[in-house]
Structure 1
Amino acid sequence: MKKRMRARNQHLKRLLSLLLTVVMVLAMIPAAFAADTASGFVIGPYLLAPKTTSMVAVWETSGSEPTTIRFGTDANALGDAVTVERDPEAPAYGGVQTNIYRYKFSELTPGTRYYYEVALANGETSRGTFRTLEENPTEIRYISITDTHKFDTKATFDAAVADYDPAFIIHGGDMVEGTGTQKEQYAFWFNSGEFIHNYPVVYACGNHDFSDYFDMYVIDTQTEEYGSAVAGNISFDYGNVHFDLMDSNPWALFQMNAETSGGKMDAATADKIEKSVQWLKDDLSKNQDKAFRILVMHHPISDPYTKMHIASVAEAGHVDMMLAGHTHSYARAVSDQPTVGAGTIYLTHQDSRAVSAKGSYMTHTIKDGVLTTQNMANGGVVGTTVTAVDKQQLAYSNISIQSGPVPCNSEIEISATITNTGKGMAAAVIPVDDNGTIKYIYGDLESDSGLSTSGEPVRVSSNGVKTLEPGESIELSGTVTLTEIGKHTVKVADVSKDIEVQFRPATFSYTNVRTKLGGGEVSDIGSDILNIKADITNIGNEDGTATATLYVGDEATLSKQYTLKAGEVKTCEFTYQFEQAGEFSVRIGDSAPETVYIEGSIQGMPMVVDQSGKGNNGYLHGAPTIGTDDKGNGTIILDGDKDYVEIPDNQNFTIDNGITGMVWAKLPVSEGTGINTLTPNGRDHNPLMTKGVSIGWGTNYLYRMAVRATGKVTVGIGFNNDNGEFFWNDDDADPNAGIKKGEWVQYVGGFDRTTGGDSYQNKYNSGHIDAPAFDSEIKNWPGASTYIGFSYTGALLTNRGRGVDRTMLAGEVSQARMYQSKLTEAEVAAVADAPSAAGPKSDDLVLWLNFDPKNIVQTGTHTTEWAEISGAPASLAYKAEIPGKSAIQATVEFSKDGKTVSGSKAFNLKTGENTIDLTGAGEGKYVRIVTKFTSNLGTEQTDIPVLYTYTLKAGESTAAWNTYADWAKGTFADGAGHQSSDAYRALSEDFDDYAGEVDEGKPVEQTAASSETTQTSSAATAETTTETKPEQPKEAGWDVDDSHWAAETIRAMMAEGVLEGDADGRIRPDDKITREEMIWVMNTMLGIKPKADTKLDAADRSSEWAYGALAAAKDAGILQGDEFGYLCGSDYATRAEIITMIARACKVSSDDHSILDGFTDAADIPDWAVSALAGMAAQGSLSGYTDDTLQPNDQITRAEAFSLLYEAITVEAPAQAA
C-alpha cells in the first residue's frame, strides 16, 4: 500500500482531547454500553463497499486487543462471534500505531437485511444493520453529499437518511475541516450519527482528505473490493447504472498548485493524470450499455483543470450526471457543446458543513428510465433536476428566419419557440441547416469554447445556455453567419427559407483586442504607456485597405492603414501614452471596448518602525484609527474594507526549517461566529498575517494565519511541491479553540519540519499537526510583501502576481511579530507574558511591529527628479485633497547643475485645484519639488493627505507629474507612498497574452474627418468599410422596394436623417426591431441626445452602444423597463411596447378605454398599455389590422414601428406636445 503522508508526533493535549472526544462519541451511541476500562470505540463501526453478496465493516478502537463480530438476518439471533484482529500495517498517529479493524461479510443474499454487532475485549458493543444491493432493482435510491467538514448539519442528515432509506450514500470528498493528516477530524463524519452504522458509503477523495489515514479508513478497502487500476479511482454497477468515483486531486490540486504558483507539475503527477483520464475513457467505453453513467469527483466542472481534463471525456463517454463539491456553492450546468446539451448534467453540491438555504445534500431516485435528483435543505426540497435515458427531446414552432438578400459574411437572425417533449431536462438549442452544414444557436460560451461543433461562432441573445424542464417552452434567438456568395437554403426543423448572399465590398471587423501596460513582457500596472493589439479581418469579397483607429473614450487618437485580401486577417498595434491617471475605455475600430486603469496619486502613508532591527518597516494603508488595548498600549483599528498594514519584502531573511507568526488582536463583538461579522462583505480566510501573493487556491504564500468562517484559525506553510500547501486548523472539537471576540488575544502559528505545526491563543495550544512526510523546499516568495489584515485571495493571476480578489480583517491590532524559527510552547508563553520585551529567540526575530503611536512615523516626503526648465519659474498648479488636521507642504528647489540645490521656497497646499505663483521663487536651470506629507492618526478619524497632480511652468517649458509613472521617477522617504487602486479591485482574469507578431501598418495623420464616428439604429452591427474600386456602396434603403406598403414613410424618415440604414444600406423593413433600436430612432426624431457615461446592469440585456440612448429615454419618461426596472434593450419589441413608448413621447393617454372595444383582442392588451393604446386610437394613430385585431403582444416589424412613430409624431397637436 502506497503511503502518502506519515504522521510522526502528537502532543499530550491532543491525546487528552481525543480521549474526551471518544467518551462523547460513546455517549451518543445507543447500542453501546459503558465499560470500566479505557479501551473503547474511536470511530465506527461504519460500512463500505456495498455489493449484492458482500459488505465491509470498519472500526477503530483506542485499545489494540482483538475484537469480535456477530451478524445474521435476525436481530435477536445473531450468529457465532468471529474474532477480528487489528490491521498490522495501519499507520501510526502520535507515535502509536492506529487500531483499525475490518471485516468482510461475504456470501450474503442479494437485497437482504442483515444485523451485526461488534464487541470489544472489555465488553463494550456497537450494533448496526444493512441491506445488500439487489440484483435487478426496479428502483434505485442513493444520497450524495460533499464537504461535510465539521458537519453541523449531521442531525438533519441522520434523520433524512433513515427517512429516505437509500441503497448507499456517496461522499464526494472533504470530510475533515483541516487536513487529512489531522486524524482526529475524521470523527466529524464517522461519528456523526446512526446512519454511519446502517448505510454503506462510497467515497471520492477531497483536497482536505488525502493522507495515510484516508487510505486506512476508505481507500484500502475500496481498492480491495472494487479494484483500482489507478489509485483512488473505482467503479461499480448497481442494476443497470454504472458509477465512477475519481480522485481529482492530481489535476485540481497538485497540477493547480504547481502551475498557479509559477512552476510545473512533476512527472509523477503528470503520469497520474494521464492514467486517470485514460482509465475513465476505458471504463466508460465498456459501460455504454448501461441506462445511466454517474461520475463523481470532488472538484467540479467549474474548476478549470477539471474542465481541461474531464469534460470532453465525460461527454464523449455519455456520462449522464457528474456530481462534485469543493466550491461550497450549489451550481447546475450542462455541456458547452450544443450537440451534447443536457446529455451531460453537472451538479455541484452546496457544502453540508453548515445550514444553507441552497441545500446540503441530494437524493437520487432512478425508476422507469428517469433519474430524479432533489437538492435538499433542512429536510425540504429546494431544487429538482430530472434526466432521462432519452436526451434532448425538443420540438420547434414559431420559427423565424431573417429574409435576404444579405451581403456575404452577414449574420442572419433566427428564432424559434423550443419545447422540451422529453421526460428529462433539456438544453435549448436550435440546429440550423445552412446548405447542408449544421450550425447551432445555443449559448453565450465565449469564455469557454465559443464555437459550435461546426466551428462557427456561437452568438445568442441570451446569456448562457437556457435549460428547459419537461414540457417547458421558451423562445431562443441568435444568429448564424452566411459565408459564401449565392443562394443559401436555411432550414430549421420543417421551416426553410432561401436567402440570396450577395457580393460584399471590402469590409473590416476588429476583434481579439489585447492590451499591455509598459514595455516589459507582461503588463506593469504602474506604467502609463498602453500597448494595444487587435486582429483586423476583411470579411468582404474583394481586397481593400482598412484604416484602423485607436479610440480612447470616444476620441480617435492614432490611425494606421492595412491592406488585406478578401478573408485575410492581420494584427495591428498601437502605443499610446496617457497624460492623466484614471479609468479609460479603449478600442480599435468597432471592437469591443477594453478598460485600462492608469495609476496616479501619492499620499501620506504612516510608517511603523520595525523593532527587530531588520528594517522591515510597515506602512498603513487606508485610514486606520488608533486606540489602546487592555494594558494601555497603543493600537491601530482596521475597518475590514480598506485598512491594512503592508511590510515590503527587503529580502533580508529566508525561511528554511521553521517559522512563527504572532498577532495581538481584538476582533469585533457581535452575535454568532460567522465571518461576515469580521468584514463588511463576508469574505472568508480573514488574514491576521500573510506573506505571499494569495491565500486562496494553490500554494501562493509562504505563510498564512487567518480566521475561517467557522471562527477557527487556520495556519499554513507553502512548499515548493505538488502537495504544496501544508496547513492545519484549530481543533473544531475543542470549544476553547478559536477566536475570542471582544477580547485581546495573542494569536500564534508556528511550524518546523521536526515537530510539525502548532497554534496558540493566549498560550492555549488550540491546534496541532504532525510534521509532513515530505522534505521539500519552503517557498519563500521573494519580493512578495507581508501583510497584517490583508491578502489577495482566489486563483492566482500569474502575470499580475496576485489573486483575483482580496480578503480583509476588521479589528484592533497592537503588535505583530515573525520569527524565522518555531517557538516552543514555553517560548510563546514567555513572549505573551512580556510582550514589550524582545523575549526568547530574539535573534530569529525578523519582524516586530508595535503599533503604539510612538513607533509610527506620520510624516514622509516625495522628491521628484530634477526637471530642466527653459526660463524663470512662473507657476505651480496642483490638485490635492487635504482632510482635517493633515497637511501637504511643497518645497520647490532650484539647481544650476541638476545635482546641488542652489535655492528653494516652501508653500503650504490647500484642498482642491489651485495654482501657486512662482515669480521670484528662485533661479536655476533645473527644478524639483520636495513634497512633505503630514498624516494625522486619530481615535475618531484619521486624516490622510493625497496629492494628485503637479504642473510646473517655467518660460516655454512645462513639467508635469500626473501619473504614478511620473511620480515613480522620484523617491519616497518615511511616511509617504502610493496607494494602488489595483489592491482594492476584484479581477476576473489575468493580463492579456500579448505574445505574437504584428503586421506593419502605414501611419495616418489624425484629422477631424478621420476621427468622426456615426451611430445609427443599427449601431450594434456597424462595420468599417474602405473602398478600393470606384464602385460605390449601394444607396441607403436599397432593400425597400417602392411597392412596399411603408416605402413612403421610410423614405420620408430617411430624408429627415432619422433613418440611415446599416453599413450595407439596408433598412430591413420586415425584420423585427429591438427595443433599443426603436429608442435610438425615436430619440433621433425627437432630438433627445444619448446620456453620457452611462453604464447599465447586465440584467438590462442591452448593447453597449445603446446605453446612453436607453438612459436618456428613461429620463424622458418614454421607457420604464420591466417589472424589475430592467430596460431589456436587446429584446424584440411587441406592438404594445412600441405604441406605449410613442404615446409617452407624445404625452398621449386616455382614461376612456371604450374606444378599444372595437378590437376583437382588446382583452389581450397588458394593463400597463391600455391607456396609451386608447389615447393613440382616439387621435387616429392606431387603426389595427383588417381582421379588427391589434395583436398587442406580437413582435412588431421595423416598418410597422417606423410608421406608427412617424404618423404619431407628425400629427400637429402631439408634435407640439412632444
Structure 2
Amino acid sequence: MQGSLQDPAEGYDEGVPECRLLEEFPEVVAMGRNNYGILDISADALDCRFFGFRPDGSRTLVDTVHLEHGEPQLVFENIHLRRLDNDGHVEIRADVSNIGTVLAAVVMELADNGCKKKLNLFGEPRQSRIVLLAPGEQRNVSAVYQARTPGAHRIECGDAEEEIFVFEPKELSFSHMRIVPLQGDKADCIYAAIEAVNNLDREIYTTVPLYIDQRIAATQSSFFRAHERRLLHFCHAFRRGGSYQISIADQLPEEICIEGSIRIIPRVLDKSGNGHYALLQGSPKIVEVNGQREVRLESYGDYIEIPPFPGLVAPQGFTGIVRASVDRLAHEDEMGHNPLMMRGISVGWGAAYMLRMVVDRSGNLKWGTCYDVTEYQWQGGAANVGTWADYAISFDKRRGGTSYCDGMVAAHVPGIPAKAEIRQWEDQPIFIGYSHIGHVIPELGKPKYFTHLPGRVAHVRFYRKGLTGESLRAVLDAPEEKGPDHGHLAVWLDFRHILTVGTHTTEWRHPAIYDPAFKTQKKYWRFCQLRAKTQLPPQAALRASVEVSDDKISVKAHMKIVLKDGTNYIELSQLPEAQYLRIVTDFSASVGERGTFVPVLYEYQITAENEVDSADMLWATRPDWERGTFSGAVGFAPVDRLRDYPAYTDIIHG
C-alpha cells in the first residue's frame, strides 16, 4: 500500500496470474493506494485494515490483512506433468486449495530421481510470481521445473509422475548482457559485457560474437574449463553517430544511441548579469501576447534547461519564481508531478532534488527541497489551469520554506538545523517543464521515467537566497525591474533576446597520420570531395567554409558552400593541394510563433588523395566535433531524456 493524507487515494490490484505486477519483483502479490490504516492486535491474531478517501470525501475499506499463529494448510489435487522439450523442462499443473485459517503462500514439492525440490514461483518463466491464497481460496497453478543433468529422470509430484531424458546441453549459454555507452572523449564507444557458462563436462574452445545491426563487429575467442562461468567484455568505437542494435551471441538486441550531430540549441539570455543563459529544447513556440513574451511548451520534448553553472549553488537557501499558465493536468497514461521548476536527478521519492515546484494530477501544488538524506516536501495551493499565475518557492535554512501563488502564501514549513546541508545537485540543470521521475535505477544512474508540463512560461527567476514575502511581492509587482536582493539574483531569463546563431570550427586535420622524417618535410594532398549530411528546415541555414593550410596557422585558400537539406556532395577541385584542412560552419535557426526551427549537421566526410595514397576524413561523432571549437548557440542535443526503460522496474510506477 502507498499513499498519504495529502490526496484522496483508494484502490487495490492483484493483477492477473499471467503477469507480474512489478517485472523484477515476483514476490509482489498485490498493490494498492490508501490514506491511513488501523491495526488491531489481540492474543490470537493481528488485523490491519487499510482505508482510503474517495474524491468526494467518503471513506472506503481498501483491504484487510489478517495474520494469526496457525500453520498454512494446502491441498493439491488434479496434478498433471508434461514434458516440454529435450532440455529437461517439465510443466506441473495442479488445483491448490487453502483449507487452513491463515494466508498461505503456495509451495509445491516434487522429487527428481528421489531428490526433493520445492517450487514457489508459478506462471510463465519470465512472468512467474508467488501465489498467495486466502483461507478457503482455491486456484489452478502451473510451474516449470528444469532437470539439468544429462540422462534419465523420474519426476514425481503427488500421485503423478513422468519419465524424461535430458540430452547434453549446448556448449555455451549466455545471460546478463549489459550494453553501456561511454561518456566524455569516449562518447563514440560502447562497453558490452555478458556472462557465459560452459555447460559441458569438458574443456572447450569457442568464439563469441558481438553484433551491431545484425552484423558481426567483433569476436572473442576463449578456452572454457568444464562448467566454467565467465564474464566476457567487448569495447567498440563507432565512426558515426546514430541508433544501433547491439547484441552478443544469441541474446536479443538492445538499442543504444551514439551522439553524433551538432545543432543550434537556442539560448535565452540572462538579465541578471551572471551569464546564466537557458537552453530552449524541443520546438516550442515563442509568442507575443498583450505585450508579454511567452514560451509555449506543447510537446513532450519542449522545455527550458538552465545548465549547471557553478554560480547556481545556494547552500543557505534559494528562491525560484515561474510565471506560467498550465494548459492541462496529466492524463491517466502520463506521469504526474508536472514540473514548473525543478533541479535534481528525480522529482520525488528520495532526497533526489534541490528544489521542486510541481503540479500533481488533481491540480494541487507540491513543493520541496532535500537536505542531508531527507526529502523535505510539502503541499499547498492549486494550479490555475488555463490562467496565468506567479508560482514561487522560497527556502531559508533558518526561516524554513514558503510557497506562494500570485504573491499569496500557499504553504509554509519550519526551518532545518543550521548544520544540515541542502542537497545542491550542482551537476544537474534547473528545468522548467521537464524532469525525471521515480526511484533512481542504479544501473541507469537516473529514474526510469520522465514527466513534462504542458503550459506556457513568461517569467523565470532564481535567487541564491530565500526571499522574504515582502521582497518576493516587490519582485512580482515590478517584473521588469531587478527588484530587491538583486545581488543574490542568479538567473533572470530574457525571452525577448534569444540567441539563434553560432559557429563550429573543426580542428586542422591531416588526412592520415603524419610522421615526417625531418621538420620541414611536407606531404601535400588533393582534397577531392565533401559529403555533408544535414537536416535543414526552410527557416534555418547552414553555411560552410572549407579551408586549407600548410602550417595550421595561415589559410592558403578557402571555398564557401551553402548547404542544403539532406545529403550534399560538393567537388573541391578548385582548392589547391595542401597539408591540412578544416571546415568552418555558420549555423542559423529561427524561433517564433510558428515554432523553433533549428539546423542539424550530422556529418562531414572529406575524400583526399596524393600520388600514392587515398584517405577519408570524417566528423560524425561527439568526440570528432569536440576536437574543434564552438561559439554561440551551437551544441549537442540530449539523447535520452525522452526515453523510458522498459527493461527496468520502478517499485512505485512499475
The TM-score by the shorter chain falls in which range?
Answer: 0.7 to 0.9
> What residue number does 1:349 align with?
32
1:431 corresponds to which letter in structure 2? E
2:221 counterpart of 1:561: yes
In 2, the alpha carbon distance for the partners of 1:930 and 1:401 equals 70
2:317 counterpart of 1:658: yes
> What residue number does 1:796 align with?
440
Q: Is residue 189–residue 238 contact of structure 2 (8 Å, CA) maintained in 1?
A: yes
> What residue number does 1:311 align with?
none
Pairing 1:735-814 to 2, within 5 Å after superposition:
737-773=381-417, 775-797=419-441, 800-814=444-458
2:511 counterpart of 1:869: yes
SS in 1 for 2:474: helix
Q: Is residue 45–residue 66 contact of structure 2 (8 Å, CA) maintained in 1?
A: no
2:578 counterpart of 1:928: no
2:93 counterpart of 1:416: yes
**Greater share of residues in strand:** 2
Give per-residue Cα distances to partners, 1:342-371, cap 9 Å, x unaligned. xx986543144xxxxxxx9899999x9998
> What residue number does 2:630 align with?
972
- How far 1:426 sits from its partner (Å)? 5.9
> What residue number does 2:3 align with?
147
- How far 1:856 sits from its partner (Å)? 0.4
Selected match of 1:963 from 618, 621, 626: 621
Pairing 1:105-144 to 2, within 5 Å after superposition:
none
> What residue number does 2:172 align with?
508
Equivalences, count: 619
> What residue number does 1:625 align with?
285
> What residue number does 1:688 align with?
340
2:365 counterpart of 1:718: no
Pairing 1:973-1122 to 2, within 5 Å after superposition:
973-987=631-645
2:500 counterpart of 1:858: yes
**Greater share of residues in helix:** 1
> What residue number does 1:588 align with?
248
> What residue number does 1:443 align with?
121
Q: Is residue 438–residue 447 contact of structure 2 (8 Å, CA) maintained in 1?
A: yes
Q: TM-score, normalised by structure 1?
A: 0.47
Structure 1 residues 775 and 329: alpha-carbon distance in aligned structure 2, compared to 1, 3 A threshold: farther
> What residue number does 1:953 align with?
607
Q: Is residue 950–residue 961 contact of structure 1 (8 Å, CA) maintained in 2?
A: yes
Give per-residue Cα distances to partners, 1:803-842, cap 9 Å, x unaligned. 3222221221122111111222221122112211111111
Selected match of 1:837 from 457, 473, 481: 481
Q: Is residue 526–residue 598 contact of structure 1 (8 Å, CA) maintained in 2?
A: no
> What residue number does 1:1212 align with?
none
Q: Is residue 886–residue 945 contact of structure 1 (8 Å, CA) maintained in 2?
A: yes
Structure 1 residues 590 and 430: alpha-carbon distance in aligned structure 2, compared to 1, 3 A threshold: farther
Selected match of 1:400 from 51, 56, 81: 81
Give per-residue Cα distances to partners, 1:1039-1064, cap 9 Å, x unaligned. xxxxxxxxxxxxxxxxxxxxxxxxxx
In 1, the alpha carbon distance for the partners of 2:620 and 2:108 equals 53
Selected match of 1:480 from 146, 168, 180: 146
In 2, the alpha carbon distance for the partners of 1:637 and 1:494 equals 69
SS in 2 for 1:867: coil
Structure 1 residues 149 and 818: alpha-carbon distance in aligned structure 2, compared to 1, 3 A threshold: same
2:566 corresponds to which letter in structure 1? G
Structure 1 residues 583 and 441: alpha-carbon distance in aligned structure 2, compared to 1, 3 A threshold: farther
Give per-residue Cα distances to partners, 1:917-973, cap 9 Å, x unaligned. 222145532222222222211213332222222222122121222333433333332
In 2, the alpha carbon distance for the partners of 1:602 and 1:913 equals 15
- How far 1:661 sits from its partner (Å)? 1.1
Give per-residue Cα distances to partners, 1:672-706, cap 9 Å, x unaligned. xxx327xx953322222222222222222222222
SS in 2 for 1:713: strand
Pairing 1:181-192 to 2, within 5 Å after superposition:
none
User: Percentage identity across aligned positions?
Assistant: 27
740-749 vs 468-477, greater mean Cα deviation: 468-477
Selected match of 2:296 from 619, 637, 642: 637
In 2, the alpha carbon distance for the partners of 1:969 and 1:432 equals 64
Q: Is residue 349–residue 361 contact of structure 1 (8 Å, CA) maintained in 2?
A: no
2:297 corresponds to which letter in structure 1? L
2:216 corresponds to which letter in structure 1? A
Structure 1 residues 517 and 823: alpha-carbon distance in aligned structure 2, compared to 1, 3 A threshold: same
Q: TM-score, normalised by structure 2?
A: 0.84
SS in 1 for 2:385: coil
In 2, the alpha carbon distance for the partners of 1:772 and 1:705 equals 19
2:281 corresponds to which letter in structure 1? H
2:351 counterpart of 1:702: no
Q: Is residue 637–residue 813 contact of structure 1 (8 Å, CA) maintained in 2?
A: yes
SS in 2 for 1:349: strand
Q: Which runs of 5+ in 1 are unaligned?
A: 1-144, 154-327, 337-343, 353-359, 446-458, 731-736, 992-1218
In 2, the alpha carbon distance for the partners of 1:363 and 1:547 equals 60
Structure 1 residues 416 and 776: alpha-carbon distance in aligned structure 2, compared to 1, 3 A threshold: same
- How far 1:750 sits from its partner (Å)? 0.9
Structure 1 residues 590 and 976: alpha-carbon distance in aligned structure 2, compared to 1, 3 A threshold: same
SS in 2 for 1:982: coil
In 1, the alpha carbon distance for the partners of 2:526 and 2:634 equals 30
CA RMSD of the aligned region, Å? 3.8
Q: Which runs of 5+ in 2 are unaligned?
A: 20-26, 513-524, 650-654
Q: Is residue 207–residue 220 contact of structure 2 (8 Å, CA) maintained in 1?
A: yes
SS in 2 for 1:851: strand
Q: Is residue 347–residue 438 contact of structure 2 (8 Å, CA) maintained in 1?
A: yes
1:399 corresponds to which letter in structure 2? H
- How far 1:981 sits from its partner (Å)? 2.3
Structure 1 residues 576 and 752: alpha-carbon distance in aligned structure 2, compared to 1, 3 A threshold: same
Q: Is residue 905–residue 922 contact of structure 1 (8 Å, CA) maintained in 2?
A: no
Structure 1 residues 729 and 477: alpha-carbon distance in aligned structure 2, compared to 1, 3 A threshold: closer
Give per-residue Cα distances to partners, 1:396-415, cap 9 Å, x unaligned. 435124299x6xxx332223
1:666 corresponds to which letter in structure 2? S
Selected match of 2:233 from 530, 555, 573: 573
In 1, the alpha carbon distance for the partners of 2:528 and 2:263 equals 25
- How far 1:439 sits from its partner (Å)? 3.1
SS in 1 for 2:358: strand
In 2, the alpha carbon distance for the partners of 1:622 and 1:345 equals 39
SS in 1 for 2:401: strand
Give per-residue Cα distances to partners, 1:104-154, cap 9 Å, x unaligned. xxxxxxxxxxxxxxxxxxxxxxxxxxxxxxxxxxxxxxxxx973524558x
Higher relative contact order (CA 8 A, sep 6+): 2
Max Rg structure? 1
In 1, the alpha carbon distance for the partners of 2:562 and 2:38 equals 67
Pairing 1:157-172 to 2, within 5 Å after superposition:
none
Give per-residue Cα distances to partners, 1:257-293, cap 9 Å, x unaligned. xxxxxxxxxxxxxxxxxxxxxxxxxxxxxxxxxxxxx
Give per-residue Cα distances to partners, 1:316-358, cap 9 Å, x unaligned. xxxxxxxxxxxx8745499x9xxxxxxx986543144xxxxxx
Q: Is residue 121–residue 143 contact of structure 2 (8 Å, CA) maintained in 1?
A: no
Give per-residue Cα distances to partners, 1:146-181, cap 9 Å, x unaligned. 73524558xxxxxxxxxxxxxxxxxxxxxxxxxxxx
- How far 1:844 sits from its partner (Å)? 0.9
In 2, the alpha carbon distance for the partners of 1:659 and 1:693 equals 18
Pairing 1:255-274 to 2, within 5 Å after superposition:
none
In 1, the alpha carbon distance for the partners of 2:324 and 2:127 equals 49
2:143 counterpart of 1:489: no
SS in 2 for 1:937: strand
Give per-residue Cα distances to partners, 1:899-918, cap 9 Å, x unaligned. 44333322222222232222
1:949 corresponds to which letter in structure 2? E
In 1, the alpha carbon distance for the partners of 2:108 and 2:322 equals 59
Give per-residue Cα distances to partners, 1:614-666, cap 9 Å, x unaligned. 11111110011011354x03221111511111111221343122211111212
